[in-house]
Amino acid sequence: MNISEKILARHAGRDKVVPGEIVTCKLDMVLANDVTAPPSIKEFEKIGKPVFDNEKIALIPDHFQPAKDIKSADLAKAVRDFSKKHNLKYYFEAGRVGIEHVILPEMGIVGPGMLTIGADSHTCTYGAVNGFSTGVGTTDLAVAMATGEAWFKVPETIEVRLKGEKAPHITGKDVILYLIGEIGVDGALYQALEFTGDVKSLTMTDRLTISNMAIEAGAKNGVFPFDEITKEYVEGRVQVPYEPVNPDADAKYVRTVEIDLSKLRPVVAFPHLPENTKAVADIKDDIKIQQVVIGSCTNGRLEDLQIAAEVLKGKKIHDDVRCIVIPGSQWVYKEAMRLGYVDAFIDAGCVVSCPTCGPCLGGYMGILSAGERCVSTTNRNFRGRMGHVDSEVYLASPYTAACSAIMGKIAEEVR
């Protein structure tokens, strides 16, 4: 079996599973946020049972928090009241935590071999730490909070075989954008993406970014093997017992896609789909921009801010550009201050926000007007997602985003 099959089999109490089977599995962690938890709570209350385990549910208000209006305040209150009523261990008020998919790995709440579902499509992030994690709807989440179980159709798995090492300035964002550009936004529909081969040059930040955006290729999940990089990241961080999972030598895959990391160049996804990718070097005409966003559950980690700060240090944001930097967690924010990254951002003319999802889903802290263009390190560029339906979002790495902020146009270097 491959990694996804092994994790599902283990949690279903089975020796073996095969693609296409429907299995019921016991869950290690159940997740929701301030947008998705309130409707799940309403469904949960109809069941009339207590939560299955108050240490295996994480509710994190991050999408519209700190509350931007009365409706978002009401959403946060619903999550807060439920969490206190059921004495949830992993409830985090705004200001004490950050973006859900940044803090769960950071705090060791998810780990190798674990099975996690979340009422958020980017729950697939935790495949980076060798777990099976995927997004579900609010009703499935409500049942999971009551029973600790969920059903799964065992997915087929696509092997993404990596070779070579990344060139300078290439990040996990370039890797996943390139992959989505090759196979399309439905190229892995209800399939797992398992990354194999030369993964050693991918940092944990790279892996978290790649797994986070597996859903943008339609994938059920994206998962990495357990290796020395995983071990170094989770040791001393994950506080519960865990069991790493690697594929069998004769693991079955529905197909194999190869990527030569050494040949990748900085990539940008054009509006209005993540599959509309181009190498920045191949863009012939200047594409002038009005905004840059550096952050989100995709690229709001410390290494992401380091990459951007190194580009921006001693430089100035273009006069026609607003650059918004959003650390993914309070820990990232504090470390970025300690290391001088926040000074570099502010001195360059950036706005630095508290940890929040913010403009990624059109929440607040950077909504676009008609005709405006934004280079963003977020994960989706659907029409109208960050503001007006006539605005445009171009997805890129923190490196490319920082270069673009200085140049006032999409750029892979500062001249």
* C-alpha separations of 362 from 75, 359, 372 in Å: 16, 5, 14
Residue 221: what pLDDT? 97
Tens of pLDDT, residue by residue over 45-62, are 999 999 999 999 999 999
User: Would you say 211 and 104 are in contact if contact means Cβ atoms under 8 Å apart?
Assistant: no
SS3 (DSSP) at 76: helix
- pLDDT tens string 154-190: 999 999 999 999 998 999 999 999 999 999 999 999 9
pLDDT in tens, 319-350: 999 999 999 999 999 999 999 999 999 999 99
Say whether pLDDT at 414 is over 90. Answer: no
Q: Is the pLDDT of residue 94 over 80?
A: no
Confidence of residue 415 (pLDDT cuts 50, 70, 90): confident
Give 97's pLDDT tier (boundaries 50, 70, 90).
confident
Q: Supply the pTM of this predicted model.
A: 0.95
How many of the other CB atoms lie within 10 Å of CB of 117? 25
Mean pLDDT of 201-218: 96
pLDDT per position as a tens digit, 24-45:
999 999 999 999 999 999 999 9
pLDDT higher than 90, residue 93: no
pLDDT digits (tens, 9 = 90+) for 230-284: 999 999 999 899 999 999 999 999 999 999 999 999 999 999 999 999 999 999 8
Cross-strand pairs, 196? 161
Q: Is the pLDDT of residue 317 over 80?
A: yes
Nearest 5°: the CA angle 26, 5, 236 is 65
Domains present along the chain, CATH in parentheses: 3-260 (3.30.499.10), 269-407 (3.30.499.10)
Average pLDDT (385-410) is: 97
Average pLDDT over residues 364-385: 95
- C-alpha 366/C-alpha 326 separation (Å) is 11
* Bond before 272 cis per omega within 30 degrees: yes
Structure tokens at 346: 């502010």
Q: Give the tens place of pLDDT for each residue, 103-138.
A: 999 999 999 999 999 999 999 999 999 999 999 999
